[in-house]
Structure 1
């Protein structure tokens, strides 16, 4: 997927997609994988990650909202990832099957 197309998909008004878009514009690396994964499976996985990050005090953005959106989506999603150029954040992107719309986005602060 081209960088400018991904930037447009991250044009939402939520904090996670805004931060991911800003990281991308600042030179972050990114990948969007081929294939899809059931959204329900990812909702369960990221629900566990949410509980883990809350217990450990790890900084996140949009994680709870991403779990809710994945749970409601009920269709397969494509995965993408953005790594901030300074390594401070990693964002996970959940796109519709065609990669034409953002379903959810979450970011996790990386420990130094």
Structure 2
């Protein structure tokens, strides 16, 4: 996926989308993987990650909301990732199966940069 297309998909006004877009525009690395995963499975995995980050006091953005949206989404999800240039944040992107729309986005502060 081209960087410019990914920038257009990050149009949300939530904190994670805004931060992910800023990281991308500042030269952050990104990848959008081929293939899809069931939204229900991702909701389960990221709910576990939410509990883990809360227990450890790791800063996240939009993670609880992303878990909720994934739990409601009925179609397969395509995954992407953006890493801030300085390594301080990693953003996970949850796209529609064809990659044409952002379902949700979440970020986690990296504890060791």
With structure 1 as the length reference, what TM-score do the two structures score?
0.99
Q: Distance in 2 between matches of 1:74 and 1:93?
A: 17
The correspondence of residues 89-100 of structure 1 with structure 2, limited to 5 A, is 89-100=89-100
Segments of 5+ residues of structure 1 without an aligned counterpart are none
Deviations 1:37-82, CA, capped at 9 Å, x for gaps: 0000000000000001001000000100100010011110000000
Q: Distance in 2 between matches of 1:40 and 1:74?
A: 8
- Corresponding residue for 1:51? 51
Q: What number of residue pairs does the alignment pair up?
A: 112
Q: Distance in 1 between matches of 2:100 and 2:32?
A: 12
Q: Distance in 2 between matches of 1:37 and 1:111?
A: 27
The correspondence of residues 6-85 of structure 1 with structure 2, limited to 5 A, is 6-85=6-85
Q: Which runs of 4+ in 1 moved over 3 A?
A: none
Q: Distance in 1 between matches of 2:42 and 2:7?
A: 23
Deviations 1:1-54, CA, capped at 9 Å, x for gaps: 000100010011111011000000000000000000000000000000000100
RMSD: 0.5
Q: Which secondary structure state, in structure 2, belongs to the residue aligned with residue 104 of structure 1? A: strand
With structure 2 as the length reference, what TM-score do the two structures score?
0.98
Segments of 5+ residues of structure 2 without an aligned counterpart are none
- Corresponding residue for 2:101? 101
